[in-house]
Amino acid sequence: MPLSRLSRRGFIVALSSVPSWPTVAGAQQHLRRIAVLMAVRETDPDGQARLKALLQGLDTHGWREGKNMRTEVRWTDGTPEELRNAALHLVALKPDVIVANGSVGVAALKQTTSIIPVVFVVVNEPVAQGFITSMAHPGGNITGFTWVELSVVGKTVEILKTMAPALTRVGLMYNPDTHPFYDAVLKELQLDTRRLVEVTRAAVRSTNDIDAAIASMSSQPGGGMAILPDAFNAASQDVIRSAVMLHQLPHIVPWRQFVSRGGLVSYGPDIGDIFRRSADYVDRILKGTSPAELPAQTPTKYELAVNRRIASLLGLDVPPSLLALADEVIE
C-alpha cells in the first residue's frame, strides 16, 4: 500500500539520520603527489643519497610513501634537453609540489608552469637567474635552497693554493651556456690583485671539453683546476676524476664524495643536509603555505675533505692547517 505523505516524510527524515557508508574512493586517504626532478642518473649513488635525505626529511614531518604521499621521480643525465623533457613530463602529472635539483631544471620548470609550487635544491644565484624576485621575498611559485654562494669560489681557489703552494694558474671549470653568472665571479677574481694565482676560464660543454681543458692546464708547470658546481660537472664526475689523475693535475671540487672515491680535495655545502632541509618547505607547502611566503635559504653547513693518498700520488704534502680544518681525511 502506498505511503501517506506524512509517513513518506518520516521515512525520508529517518533515512537521512542514518550514518552514510564511505564510498570506495572516500575510504582511501588522499595521497599528495610530490614530484622530484634530479639532475643526475638513477644509477648515481650520490643522487640516490640525496633522494634518501629528502625522503627522510619528509618522514620526520609525517609524510610516508603510499600512506599519505606518492613521489614521482625523474632522473636525467644533466643535459638541458633531458631536463626540459623531464620538467614537461612532471608538470603534466599536475603534482602538488615539485622538488627540482639544479638550475637547468628550475629554468625549465619556470618556463613551463607558474602555478605548481617548486622547491629548488642546490641552485646558485636564483635571483640573478630570474627564478625569484629576492631571497627574502621570492614572489611567485618558486622558492628553495641555494648551493654555493659565489664568494665561496674565491675561498675554493685559496684552499687549492694552500694544498699546492707551487700553483700559479687555476682554471675555473664550468659550462658557460648554463651557468653564465660564473663569468662575473671570474672577472672579480681576476681584478683582485691580492691573489697569488692567475685565474682563467675552463669552459666545458661536453666530455671531450673536459679532457682538453685539463690537458691544457697541465701542459705547463703551476697549473690547477677548480671544478665549479653545475649540472654538467655533477653528471661528469667520473670523467673529471679520470682526467685530473691522468694528467696529474691538482684540483678541488665541491663534492665530498668525489674525494672519497679518489679526488684530491673538496670544499662545499653538505648536500644531504640541504635536501633534508628542503623537506620542511615541501611540508609547509602541502599544508597550505605559498612559496612566495617562504624565503630562499643559503647553506648552513660546509665540509672540507682531503685525500692524503691522492696528494701523495700528485707529489703534494697536505699542510697541517688543512688537516686541522678538514671534516674528513682519507688516508
Nearest to 172 by CA among 312, 44, 180: 180
How many domains are contained in the chain?
Answer: 2
Q: Are residues 194 and 289 located together in one domain of the fold?
A: no
What is the tens place of the pLDDT at every residue in 269-319? 999 999 999 999 999 999 999 999 999 999 989 999 999 999 999 999 999
Question: What are the strands, taking DSSP E only, across 61-210?
Answer: 69-74, 97-101, 118-123, 142-146, 169-174, 198-203
- Please answer whether residues 159 and 318 qualify as being in contact, where contact means their C-beta atoms are separated by less than 8 angstroms: no
Examine the pLDDT at 15 and tell me if it is beyond 60: no
Order of strands, edge to edge, in the sheet holding 169-174?
A: 198-203, 169-174, 223-227, 251-253, 265-269, 302-307, 328-330
Domain holding 320, by residue range, is 151-269+302-330
Residue 15, domain member (yes or no): no
Q: Are residues 131 and 166 located together in one domain of the fold?
A: no
- Please answer whether residues 135 and 144 qualify as being in contact, where contact means their C-beta atoms are separated by less than 8 angstroms: no
Q: If you average pLDDT over residues 149-166, what whole number do you get?
A: 91
**Proportion of the chain above pLDDT 90, given as a percent:** 77
Which range is least confidently modeled, 24-38, 71-85, 190-204? 24-38
Q: Which residues contact 72 (CB under 8 A, 6 or more apart)?
A: 33, 34, 35, 36, 90, 93, 95
Q: Are residues 82 and 157 located together in one domain of the fold?
A: no
**Proportion of the chain above pLDDT 70, given as a percent:** 91
Q: Are residues 61 and 142 located together in one domain of the fold?
A: yes
State the DSSP H helix or E strand holding residue 33, giving kind and residue range, or none if neither: strand 32-37
